[in-house]
Amino acid sequence: MITPTDQSAGTLQLKGAVADLSDTMDWKRVFSQFSHIVLVANSGLNDVQLLERHYPASTLFVFFNKVYKTLSEDFKGNAILVSRGQPAGANIVYKGEVDEVLAFFEQATFLGILNLRLSLLEKLNTSADFHGAPTGHLDLVGFTDRFYTPGKTPTSGFAMAMWLTGMKLPGSIVLAGFSARRTEKWRVVAAHDWNFEQTCFRLLARADKISIHDGVAINAYENLSDLFPEISKTDIALAAAEVFSERLGNTDAEVDKLISLTGAARKIDQMFRSLRPAWMKKKKPHFPGSKAE
């Protein structure tokens, strides 16, 4: 339930503001309180301290699941944690990482957990599952079915960006670190259509419906239509798509070879990850009723 400190002014009591929310309009009311909504991807591109300094105090930062991948110290700004449901529930719940993740947030400015699901196979969790943290639910089953790639599942960041855009909020929606870039540290899971998501992000940015932190790179292909006015933009796009498709096919073939060659190394890596000692996990319960108390 939302508990504004001043109903007439419409101001919002931040601490635990999303507790027990489930109605779309209540969620809209929460997000509408902020001048900027910055979606922070778990990406090596993000320097969260710089992000926090870049935007005004009226900004809400939206984090996703395993924030220890992108946060190195406690975050004191206004924050919501999106925790996506899985068939077994949120992964930070069934992997026992709730306290480790929540420890990064300052209780006074932490609005709570937005427990998200996009399909009927995804299970929502209770506040008790999140060790007493204020929890609201956003059930978007079917929301992306009409436009997302069949056979693929949207990322939580993409779903949130599209949903927030559709809410027509008064504040600005900003994406930070949504690069879909594969590195040694960051995986790009094949279950998602990264090309489609990046295309949507860039179209929305060029239509001024969202902003991309650090901006969108100049598209050199747009200049070709000026250089060769007799060639249509459609033909330019088709030619570019043909080249990209061929290059991607060649890359996939080489990646398959690498996967076969590195099988033993990956098994060793997984073994060492499973031996991660408990003392390496940051556990600092913030919320009354935490199992760690």
Confidence bin at 285 (pLDDT 50/70/90): low
Query: What pLDDT sits at residue 9?
Result: 34
Is the model's pLDDT at 187 over the cut of 70?
Answer: no
Q: Which range has the worst mean pLDDT, 28-37, 114-123, 179-188?
A: 179-188
190 versus 63: the higher-pLDDT residue is 63
Q: Which of 123, 144, 70, 122 is nearest to 101 (CA)?
A: 70
| Domain assignment present for 287 | no
Domain count, the chain: 1
The answer to whether residue 14 is domain-embedded is: no
Q: Looking at per-residue confidence, does 61 or 4 come out higher?
A: 61
Task: Reply yes or no on whether the pLDDT at 135 is more than 70.
Answer: yes
- CA 263 vs. chain centroid, Å, equals 29
Of 256 and 19, the structure prediction assigns the larger pLDDT to: 19
In a domain, 130, yes or no: yes
Inform me whether the pLDDT recorded for 274 exceeds 80: no
Residue 4 has pLDDT above 50, yes or no: no
| 28 assigned to some structural domain | yes
73 occurs within a structural domain: yes
In this structure, is residue 281 part of a structural domain?
Answer: no
Say which residue, 105 or 263, is predicted with more confidence: 105
pLDDT confidence of residue 168: 95
Residue whose C-alpha is closest to residue 114's, from 141, 84, 144: 84
**If you average pLDDT over every residue of the chain, what do you get?**
85
**Stretch 72-86: mean pLDDT:** 95
- Domain of 98, in residue numbers: 24-217
- pLDDT, tens digit, 9 for 90 and up, residues 34-64: 999 999 998 877 889 999 999 999 999 999 9
Among 77-81, 91-95, 121-125, 221-225, the range scoring the smallest mean pLDDT is: 221-225
pTM of the predicted protein model = 0.78
Backbone phi, psi, residue 60, to 5°? -105, 125
Among 17-21, 93-97, 215-219, 263-267, name the one with the lowest average pLDDT.
215-219
Strand partners, 198: none
Domain for residue 65, yes or no? yes
Q: Per the domain annotation, does 225 fall within a domain?
A: no
Confidence of residue 3 (pLDDT cuts 50, 70, 90): very low
DSSP codes, the chain: ----SBTTTTB---TTTTTT---HHHHHHHHTT-SEEEEE-S-TT--HHHHHHHS-TTEEEEEES-GGGT-SS-B-S-EEEEEE-BTTS-HHHHTT-HHHHHTTB-GGGEEEEEEEESSTTSBP--TTTTTT--EEEEE-TTTTTTTSPTT----HHHHHHHHHHHTT-SSEEEEES------SS----TTS-HHHHHHHHHHHHHTTSSEETT-----HHHHHHHH-TTS-HHHHHHHHHHHHHHHHHHHHHHHHHHHHHTHHHHHHHHHHHHT--GGGS-----STT-TT-
For residue 218, the model assigns a pLDDT of 67
Residue 181: band (very low, low, confident or very high) from pLDDT cuts 50, 70, 90: low
Between 103 and 291, the higher pLDDT residue: 103
Residues 109 and 16: beta-carbon distance below 8 Å: no
